[in-house]
Amino acid sequence: MQKLKLQIESSEKGDCQTGPSNKNFQRLVLGLLIFVLLGVGGWAASTLVAPKTTGLGELVEADLTARGDAYIPLNEVPEDLVSGLIAVEDKRFYTHDGTDWIRVGGALWANVEAQRVTEGGSTITEQLVDNTILRDEQKSLTRKLQAMLLAQWVEHVYTKEQILEYYLNAVYYGPNSYGVYAASDNYFEQSPSELEPVQQLFLAGVVQGPALYDPSSQCSAAGTRLDAVIDARLEAQTLSAAEAEDLKVAPLVHANGICRA
């Protein structure tokens, strides 16, 4: 009996000793539970906003026309730009349903470990929603959940190719550069179809932070980001090792000079 009592006491003491890894796990579980509960609540109301997902192409084209810029169909966007974009921004684009839950889980874990928001895990579809339907909404957890829910509807209404086309024409690439046509013209004074592979990959990467990767003023950072896009394509096996090596030493010729010469 005394032995059993000691075992129970030992077990209770062990349960009370919560190390850093256990605390992190508890935070992760709590975060996931909150995320699921909020998601269920948002899903219940999603039918009220579902109609907003229709007419996205017309909305994007109207915005570009108002700015005096051209809308570019997907078949006129260079292949390296599209491959680079998917590799670096959303590598499971063709297999997820609008939200990359693997990426969300990884981002949540990283945020728990850092005890602050360091990663977002947005897909191309969610970014499209952010740049169109929710562009006037303030950034918040509610907006993030709305983007996730609306992305589900967008994936239901449109094909992956349509989503890519709308994204490429809607996203912000830098000052006076909304859409791939304006970005190509402003950065390189060329149309998208005339871009060199290294220029295409630059445009694929610059959307993450246009002010951070401007080749005219931030050449070193632009080169680092360009290398990240090349590495992402190498990992995705859409580039050979030899092609990646050549691209990493190729100069980025832009409207105001040469970067990585």
Q: Is there a domain that residue 3 lies in?
A: no
How confident is the model over 171-183, as pLDDT tens digits? 999 998 999 999 9
The answer on 161 and 190 residing in a single domain is: no
- 25, two tokens: 């796990």
Please tell me whether residues 179 and 165 are part of one structural domain: no
CATH, residue 212: 1.10.3810.10
Query: Is residue 125 domain-shared with residue 201, that is, in the same domain?
Result: no
Token code pair at residue 190? 């060329």
Mark whether 98 and 125 lie in a shared domain: yes
Same domain for 134 and 261: no
Q: Are residues 162 and 205 in the same domain?
A: no
**Domains contained in the chain, number:** 2
Distance of CA 13 to the CA centre of its chain: 45
Beta-bridge partners for 177: 174
Are residues 147 and 187 both part of a single domain?
no
pLDDT band at 26 (very low <50, low <70, confident <90, very high): low
Same domain, 195 and 136: no
Same-domain check for residues 116 and 244: no
Decide if pLDDT at 44 tops 50.
Answer: no
Beta bridge partners of 253: 258
Q: What is the domain range of residue 112?
A: 24-70+91-170
12 in a structural domain: no
139 & 183 share domain: no
Residue 118 forms part of a structural domain = yes
Decide if 254 is inside a domain: yes
Residues 107 and 155 in one domain: yes
Give 103-140 pLDDT, tens digit per residue.
775 555 544 454 444 345 689 999 999 999 888 888 88
Structure tokens at 189: 């004074």
Task: Assess whether 208 and 132 both reside in one domain.
Answer: no
Q: Could you tell me if residue 120 is inside a domain?
A: yes
| Average pLDDT for 176-200 | 95
Last residue of a domain, one of 154, 170, 186: 170
Last-in-domain residue among 170, 191, 213: 170
Question: Is the residue at 200 inside a domain?
Answer: yes
User: Which of 92-106, 154-168, 184-198 comes out lowest in average pLDDT?
Assistant: 92-106
**Residue at a domain's end among 152, 170, 188:** 170
